[in-house]
Every structure is written in structure tokens, then in C-alpha cells.
Amino acid sequence: MNLNTLLNLKARNNPDSLLNLLVGSAFISIVIIIILSSYGFYRVFSSFVIKSAEIDSVQLCRVLIEEQKELMFVKPAWKPFELGTPAANISFDLRLRQFLAPFNIIKVKIYNTDKRIVYSTDPQLIGKIDENNLRLKKALSGAVDAKMVTKDKASDLTDEPLRDVDVVETYMPILSPDNKILGSFEVYMNMTGYREQIRKGVVLASSLLSLVLGTVFGVSYLLIHGGTGQLKEAQSRLEQVAITDPLTGIHNRGYLMRRGEEEFERVRRYSRPLGCIMLDLDHFKRVNDSRGHVAGDSVLSGVAHRLRHSLRPYDIVGRYGGEEFMLLLPDTSFEQIVVVANRICELIRSAPFEVDEELVPVTISLGVSCYNKADRTLNDIIKRADEGLYKAKADGRNRVAWIYQPGASETAS
């Protein structure tokens, strides 16, 4: 896996990005779950209220028929449903209102089999035919139908106005002793008092669900956060391995080229100087042949250590290959590059390296170059520095050299 592939993979699979994606997804999921669950809780609680109202209405109507059958039906008994004489109707109305007073009934209608209202606590409705009422049709077929609705305006049995009330409308068939359908009740039961209970129930259930989901997500987040921390650490180590030369501990060639391309684009954009030094250990093969490869590796590590500690924090140093190193110095003119190269040459030459309690003298050859407007790629700068390195070796090694390029500003004072 090369460096660019690693960095692209890291960008795509950044643990923090994955963790943020998880948090966002979990938050959206929790919100959706709570909303849908709250709606479900509301439907369940409302269904319970409606069912209770339906049961109460059915029982109430049955008791009502039993208690008031002498006034409700015309002789002979259980004739298809009609109310009696006007006087009987008034008496029935009074007794019905007294009977319903303890309950939350705000309106009652009685239909005959022709869908005509033969009685209502609202006298204005008596005599009207509700032909297209599907729920009434269902009740006249023998089924009970209950449904909760919200009404902006209504009146109770004492004609007191009511505003914004929840009402369960129940249609119940009226049956004769031999189970013939004689008509239908329509009972309006005021369930507004249950509204707050439904709301509190929904809030409580939703809060408990939110607490459970929050706890589960919180524990999961802590576990995953710990895992992403370990993953980030592993990625960091992997990236470090991918950009580091394992022998010397400085940057490898892949990192040098990537950072060099970045710096090259920057100097082209802003017309800033960029210096390059290529250096090679003189007669390094002799060290390997005479003292062994372990000694040679020790020398390479020592050279890398001195290079790293002789440059600025933002300068770039790395092992280019074998015993060859490359240095990139941003914002450094050619004259300054030559000064730095000579200082490094002296730094390596002046202090031999200790290998197995023996001192090993080492010298280096250096080639230098600097960016100029004629350069089109980073390789143009590296190529001139490399040519300078070969020139330094050809001129006797242990020195700094460079190749003059027409049009360039590479002239040392």
C-alpha cells in the first residue's frame, strides 16, 4: 500500500467522521422512533378511551331502554320504533335528562329504522332523516360503531355551551326482545376530561422510551468512542510507518515526494524560493565491507540524526534511497542553500561516528539547486541537485557543488 492510497483510505474511513455519522444517524433514528412511538401511544390510549366510552355507552343505552321502555314504545309493545304521545314525549325527555345527568352525555339521538330522528335532546333535529349516514346504516345492520371526534362547539343537556370538546360518538342498535332491530341510539359522550390523561400518558411513555433509547445510545457511544480512539491510534501508527524510513527514523522517499509536490505548488503559486539538497555518503561501500552492514546501518542512522537536528522545524528531510538523502528547504534562496549545505558537510566531516566503540570517519558529497520560473515539476529541481551531487563526486567528493542552468538565479556569492 503506497502513501497516497493510505491517506485516501484514511480520509474515507476517518474514525471521527464515522463516529459523527453514527451520532447523526442515531439522533435522527431516535427522533423518528420517538415521534412514531408517541403517535402509536396516542392511538393506543385514544383507542382505550374510545373502547371504554363505547362500553359505557352500550351499557347506558341498555339500561336506558330497560328503564324507559314504557315511554319509548307505542303499544303493542316492541312495535317498530316510534315515540308515544306528545305528553309522553315530554315526560320521556324529562326522565331521560334526569337519568343522564350523572354521566358525561351531552347529546342523545334516537333513530327509527327509516333513519328518521324520532327523539333528540336537541329538539330542532327531531323529524330529520339522516339518509347518507354510513355509521347509522352500520348500526341499523346490528353493529356498534364508536369514534372520537373533536368539536369546536357543542352544548350539554342543560344547553350550556361547550368549546373544543372531545366527544365519543357511539351508534348502537335498539333491539327488541326477539333481537329485531327497531332503531338506533346515537350517544355523544364528553371525553374532554380524558384529554389531559391521554397527553400525560403519551408524555410519560415517550419520556421513558427516550430515557431507554438515550441510555442505550449513550452506552453504545462510549463503547464505540473507545473503539474509534484505538482505531485512530492504530491509523496514526500505520500512517507513521507508511511515511517513515524504518532504519533511520526519518521520512521515506514516498513522503519526501508528496511533501515536495505540495511545496512545489506553493512556491509556484506565491513565487517563493524552494531549496533542494541531495547528499550521498562517500565510499559507504567500504564501511559495509570492512565493518559489516550493522555498522553501515549505524552510520546511516547517525547521519540522519545529525541532519534532522541541524535543520529548521519546517524543513523536510528524508532518506531518498540507499545512502542517499534529500532535503527540501522552503523559503530558502540559492545563496542560503549553499551555506546550509556547507554547514552540513562540515557537520558530518568534523565528528566521526562511533560504531562498536570504534570511530568511523565519514564524509559526504552534496548537490544543491533552487526553484526558478523555468521549472515545471519538482523533478526539475531534484534533477539539478542530483547533477550537482554527481559533480561533487567527480570533483573529489567531500564538497558541495551545483549545476548552473541558464535563466536560473543560482549564483552563490
Domain ranges of the chain: 1-243, 253-401
The whole-number pLDDT of residue 320 equals: 95
Closest CA to 150 of 194, 100, 117, 201: 194
pLDDT value for 74: 53
CB 364 within 8 A of CB 306: no
C-alpha count within 13 angstroms, C-beta hemisphere, residue 113: 11
* Residue (of 351, 346, 306) closest to 327 by Cα position: 306
3-class secondary-structure state, position 284: helix
pLDDT 10s digits, 159-200: 778 888 888 888 988 887 778 888 888 988 887 777 778 888
Tell whether pTM > 0.85: no
pLDDT in tens, 370-395: 998 889 999 999 999 999 999 999 99
What CATH number has the domain spanning 253-401? 3.30.70.270
Write the CA distances from 393 to 227, 278, 280, 285, integer angstroms: 53, 12, 9, 15
Contact 226, 281 (CB under 8 A): no
1-243 CATH fold: Beta-Lactamase (3.30.450)
- CA angle, 242 then 246 then 249, to 5°: 95
For 6, 149, 385, the CA distances from 336, given in Å and listed in that order, are 35, 88, 15
Model confidence over 107-138: pLDDT tens digits?
889 898 899 998 888 888 888 999 899 999 99
The predicted structure's pLDDT at residue 373: 87
Burial 23-48 (b: 16+ CB within 10 A, else e): eeebeeebeeebeebbeebbeebbee
The burial of 127, by beta-carbon neighbours within 10 Å (0-12 exposed, 13-18 middle, 19 or more buried), is given as exposed
Q: How confident is residue 406, by pLDDT bands cut at 50, 70 and 90?
A: very low
pLDDT tens digit string along 226-246? 777 776 776 777 777 788 999
Tell me how far the alpha carbon of residue 172 is from its chain's centroid. 52
